[in-house]
Amino acid sequence: MRVLLQRVREARVTIDGRVTGEIGPGLMILVCAMQGDTEAAADRLATRIAKLRIFRDPEGKMNLSIRDTGGAALVVSQFTLAADTSRGNRPGFSTAAPPDEGRRLYDYFSERLRAEGIPVANGEFGADMDVSLINQGPVTIWMEA
């Protein structure tokens, strides 16, 4: 699995003018299930993300986790994280998991974050979404499992 984390002051997903997911301070998590990914990969990422110390402590150092701060996560499916841009001008996405498996792992990953004690809001798998956020820092981190 691939994820792109953004530390945010707030984030929101809107579909056709309807807010489907919204958080205050925390993490915007774009997630892509890749071919061959398993629940074990989602487990590893959820555990790592819950413990990742990328939030500021009182001295201003990145020393706190999302758990420590009581932040939330907005999890959005993002198959384009599988983009292969090594040839030509059009990215290929053949390494992304098939849609049914991608949806299953996306839902599973969201549940694993909840099990880690993180409040989770979601986008809608496969939908054309408008995503807005205020990236704090900015802090943006790429992770794979």
Q: Which residues are catalytic?
A: 78-80
| Cis before 91? omega within 30 | no
d(CA 138, CA 26): 13
**7, 23, 75, 140 from 70: Cα distances, Å:** 13, 12, 16, 19
d(CA 42, CA 64): 22
**Contact of 109 with 31, CB cutoff 8 Å:** yes
Per-residue burial over 12-45, b = 16 or more CB atoms within 10 Å of its CB, e = otherwise: bbeeeeeebbebebbbbbbbbbbeebeeebbbbb
Torsion sign across C-alpha atoms 138, 67, 123, 2: positive
